A = this chain, B = another copy of it.
Amino acid sequence: MQAGHAIGVDLGGTKILAGIVDRDGKVVRRHERPTPQDSQEHVLAELEAAVAELIDDSVVAVGLGAPSPIDQARGVVVRCTNLPLENAPLRERMHERFGVAVGLDNDANAAAIGEWRAGAGRGEDDLVMLTLGTGVGGGVVSGGKPFRGRDGAGAELGHVVLVHGGRPCQGVCTGHGHLEAYVSGTAATAAAHEAFGPSADAHRLVRLAAEGDAKAKELLEEVGRYLGSGIGSFVNIFGPQLVVLGGGFGVAAYDYLREPAEEVLRREALEPMRSAVRWAKAELGTAAGLIGAAFVGFEALDAS
């Protein structure tokens, strides 16, 4: 393995977070800039600018996490819900500009890889991470390797069917009853609206629960029970030793979601998977994505 640093870039709907990261997952230097919304060319230019801001002779790889399924064979972002990046040839473009190995991944996969290499999942060979935020992202490490499905497009864990024929899903998704429609921050905000009026949101729900509000607790427990069913499915499929909950809402609500989720999980999961699984709260906060993206860069370098 070549020594040196990788630059990890986490492309979000509002911000580009970038950092120089070492092989241990330590962030040496960071940079942040707004994500432009107007054109693909502008987004690509700002991504390049974020990397150019940090790059030095120690940098041997660049990794990017984007909120989209990825076509790994072509190194292309397939379709971001919120950004004009359809079919953007990110890998080739960055490689041409900077001349180093470039890796590309879905943002939720990148976050899972970050927690696996440098956060709550250090030392585990099999973990599932769910990122509960505006949507629900999923990332899987299986047998000591990131699991990405065919061409790296898969492991869209937020879009498993949890309630056949249930609530319409969000954004461009035409599905019904997907996990995302029940356990995302957006879903919790909808529940908060209904119970506490239009100014309430998911984070207000957590604050109210912390103050002892019974209704807020009950609503979060309901989210936790849905989460337990979803995680039960993933445990029966992947048999992870560890389930990591991340994302803004997932971390904030962790203490309220975990117990009801675990109760349902114990019912839904089969042996020997059921007895093996533990829980953890994500540790890296908003840095998980860029740290994981850096490891995706190292991965591309080591494979080249």
Contact = CB atoms under 8 A, between A and B. Distances in A.
A265 to B, nearest CB: 10
* Interface size grouping (class) on chain A: 35 or more
A233 B160 contact: yes
Contacts of A178: 268
Stoichiometry, copies per complex: 2
B240 A237 contact: no
Q: Which of A178, A182, A233 has the most CB of B within 10 A?
A: A233
B150 A241 contact: yes
Contacts of A271: 69, 78-79
Interface stretch (A6-14, A151-159, A196-204): A151-159
Interface of A: 69, 71, 78-79, 125-126, 142-143, 147, 149-151, 153-157, 159-166, 173-178, 182, 225-226, 229-230, 232-233, 236-241, 267-273, 276
14 contacts: A78-B271, A125-B150, A142-B150, A143-B150, A149-B237, A149-B238, A156-B236, A156-B237, A159-B268, A160-B236, A164-B166, A173-B270, A175-B267, A175-B268
